[in-house]
Amino acid sequence: MAGADLTNERYRRRQRVWDVVESPYVVHLVLFLAVLFIVTPLVWMLLTSLKTRQGVLAMTYLPLEPTLDAYSRALIDRGFWRAVVNSVIVASASTAIVMVLGTPAGYVFSRYRFPYDNAVFVFVLFTRLFPPIGLVTPYYRIVSTFGLLNTKTGIVIANVYLWLPLVIYIMRNFFITIPTALDEAARVDGCTKVQAFRHVVFPVVLPGFAAGTILTFLYSWREFLFAFTVSTDLQSMTIPVATFLFVGDAGIDWGAMAAAAVVSVIPSALVVIAFNRYIVVGLTGGMKG
Amino acid sequence: MATEEYGRDVGPHGGGVTGRISDWVNDHIRTVLLGPSLVALFVVFIYPAVMLLWLSLLNTRGFGETFEPAYNYERIFTDPTFWNAVENTLVYSFGSLVVSVGAGLVIALALNKVTADRLRNGYTTLILLSWAVPLSIVGVTWRWMFNGQLGVVNRVLLDVGLLSSTFSWLTTSSTAMAVIILADSWSRIPFAAIVLLAGLQSIPQEMYDAAKVDGATSLQTFRNVTLPYLRPSFFVAGLITWMFAFRAFAIPFSTTGGGPGGATETLAIYIHRFGIQLLDYGFASAVAVILVSVTLVVAAGYVYFILERMEEIEV
């Protein structure tokens, strides 16, 4: 009896602790701290980018005389506005190619049986999980052989390798959620198989397609390894690479570097704020299958 | 059968060139829709992957290249900096795994408690921000914050009184490693939190109702309903986080460049150093083959898991 009471007592104490842990105050405190941890580095970059050169060296918290001078040093004096343009071109082209190739492929995996279909699907998954760092050395050689070093094409091709398997997988998972009865109905009504895909099934999967597009754009925008390997030339390098190049300077202009960093974060941040639901769907769409 | 109704030369989609093309497309729908992707993957993936294997068999030290299959692989195991890189990679990847999945779990549980949709979306959006930051920007940001002279971390610690003089975080081995793990986690926490939150939200409400009927306390419910149901998401979040941290290049490279003295040189940086900077691509490829093999063994576990669940859903 006494033993049971004791464990009971211990249990009740634990339950009381748990009630505190679960209370709204603690929940919001946790989330507040998490947001603080995530946002502080970004805010710090923004503040740094608004300081004068002296302000950066003086180590003040806030920019005493806020100025956009650092932005003009990074974007105009260094010419990094071209890197921004390159980034937009590379990310858009990569996203377009990947979505056009990957969406029908995902559809086929969700609908049709064919010889070795599971093996081909596993191959696609493995391509996705293959470490890109492993391909960098041969890729560098191939790119130089074909004269694609320091070109945007070289970066776009790398992005196709990186994101096509992911998109095939995600799109397949979205297509699977749509009943095949829909295709069959379209076929009965006289659609060809392509028409059934394009005019009947595709419109239904549009939210998934949007999620895939947004995800691919963000991934291509933030890619560093291949972009850095292929190009460090102003004609073709992307803005994340350009920002990194500040690190090699003798006396790093931290203000200008922060400005370049802010410029490369802004598009991603806007996409996240505008399309957060789609991103959540896209990120978790990879596991619903 | 169907073709007979239309006569010999006219298929179900009409005659002429367009009709014949659309007939052919209809008969070869899989090839038409899937073929281009597979050809693309063949060119951009299989070609370099086969080349990787081939390069790893070449001796490319010094000038020219000669075929010496065992040369690079033997060299790997006698190179002390290789084992240093292995050790760093393990510390880095497991450090990031523990921090990002641990913090991700706490955040996911907290987010799941927020009932107001708008509030939860607001929190989620803010937390997703660090995920969207380009990886090299993550690196330079943390490099700047932990700068030995001008960094804000030093500034804060000096003001609070925890430090009496500036500390060189990134040129001290142990703190440099801690900083890159933290930077890596900063960028990976959102993914872990989102995946775990999705797992939490997929737990059927009936399970909670049943627990309530049985008179279970909230702690018991958490232990016996929430945690067991969360296991698959936990597995996915952990495996993906670890696998991607194991191969991480951009964050450690742009934060410390592998320094001080190789203390934060991960395998990816090691491969990059030999393959791209020293142009000893034979050796770099051999190291890459080893890294790829390790990852693919782990990936096989993940693929197996996906295929298992695939059948559940398709049937």
Q: Crossing angle, helix A254-285 and helix A81-111, to 10 degrees?
A: 10
User: What per-residue confidence (pLDDT) applies to A62?
Assistant: 86
Tell me the chain A residues in contact with residue B200 when contact means C-beta distances shorter than 8 Å. Answer: none
User: What per-residue confidence (pLDDT) applies to A243?
Assistant: 93
**Six-digit token string for B211:** 């627990």
| Size of the A and B interface in Cβ pairs below 8 Å | 297
Question: What is the number of residues in chain B?
Answer: 315
Provide the pLDDT confidence category of residue B14 given band limits of 50, 70 and 90: low
Taking the Cβ of residue A165 and every Cβ of chain B, the question of whether any pair is shorter than 8 Å is answered with yes
User: Do A204 and A64 fall within a single domain?
Assistant: no
User: What per-residue confidence (pLDDT) applies to B315?
Assistant: 28
The 3-state DSSP class for residue B58 equals strand
User: Do A221 and A164 fall within a single domain?
Assistant: yes
Per-residue pLDDT tens listing for chain A (289 residues): 455 566 778 888 888 888 888 888 889 999 999 999 999 999 999 999 999 888 888 888 888 888 898 899 989 888 899 999 999 999 999 999 999 999 999 999 988 888 888 889 889 988 888 999 999 999 999 999 999 999 999 999 999 999 999 999 989 988 988 888 888 888 888 888 888 888 888 999 998 899 899 989 999 999 999 999 998 888 899 999 999 999 887 788 899 999 999 999 998 899 889 888 888 888 876 544 3
Q: Which helix (H) or strand (E) holds A288?
A: none
User: What per-residue confidence (pLDDT) applies to B3?
Assistant: 42
Distance CA(B187)–CA(A162), nearest Å, equals 19
User: What per-residue confidence (pLDDT) applies to A5?
Assistant: 62
Distance CA(B191)–CA(B44), nearest Å, equals 27
User: What per-residue confidence (pLDDT) applies to B22?
Assistant: 79
- Domain boundary, last residue among A32, A53, A69: A69
Closest CA to A45 of A17, A71, A6, A26: A71
Tell me the chain A residues in contact with residue B111 when contact means C-beta distances shorter than 8 Å. Answer: 31
Measure in Å the smallest separation between the Cα of B177 and chain A Cα atoms. Answer: 18
**Six-digit token string for B183:** 């930077």
Taking the Cβ of residue A225 and every Cβ of chain B, the question of whether any pair is shorter than 8 Å is answered with yes
- Domain boundary, last residue among A13, A36, A69: A69
The 3-state DSSP class for residue B67 equals strand
Distance CA(A218)–CA(A207), nearest Å, equals 17
Average pLDDT, chain B: 87
Taking the Cβ of residue A27 and every Cβ of chain B, the question of whether any pair is shorter than 8 Å is answered with yes
Chain A, residues 34-73, CB within 8 A of chain B, namely 34-35, 37-39, 41-42, 44-45, 48, 56-57, 59, 61
User: Do A23 and A89 fall within a single domain?
Assistant: no
Taking the Cβ of residue A102 and every Cβ of chain B, the question of whether any pair is shorter than 8 Å is answered with yes
User: Do A115 and A242 fall within a single domain?
Assistant: yes
The residue among B21 and B182 whose pLDDT is bigger is: B182
Give the ipTM.
0.89
Provide the pLDDT confidence category of residue B312 given band limits of 50, 70 and 90: very low
Contact (CB<8Å) A61/B285:
no
Contact (CB<8Å) B136/A243:
yes
Provide the pLDDT confidence category of residue B2 given band limits of 50, 70 and 90: very low
Closest CA to A275 of A208, A220, A189, A196: A208
- Domain boundary, last residue among A69, A97, A125: A69
Domains and CATH numbers, chain B: 2-55 (no CATH), 81-314 (1.10.3720.10)
Domain around A31: 2-69
Tell me the Ramachandran region of residue A83: left when phi exceeds 0, alpha when psi lies from -120 to 50, beta otherwise: alpha
**Across residues B131-151, what is the average pLDDT?**
92
Taking the Cβ of residue B216 and every Cβ of chain A, the question of whether any pair is shorter than 8 Å is answered with no
Residue A253's domain is classified under what CATH number? 1.10.3720.10
List, in sequence order, every residue forming a beta bridge with A88; answer none if it has no partner.
none
Taking the Cβ of residue B245 and every Cβ of chain A, the question of whether any pair is shorter than 8 Å is answered with no
Tell me the chain B residues in contact with residue A74 when contact means C-beta distances shorter than 8 Å. Answer: none
User: Do A260 and A131 fall within a single domain?
Assistant: yes
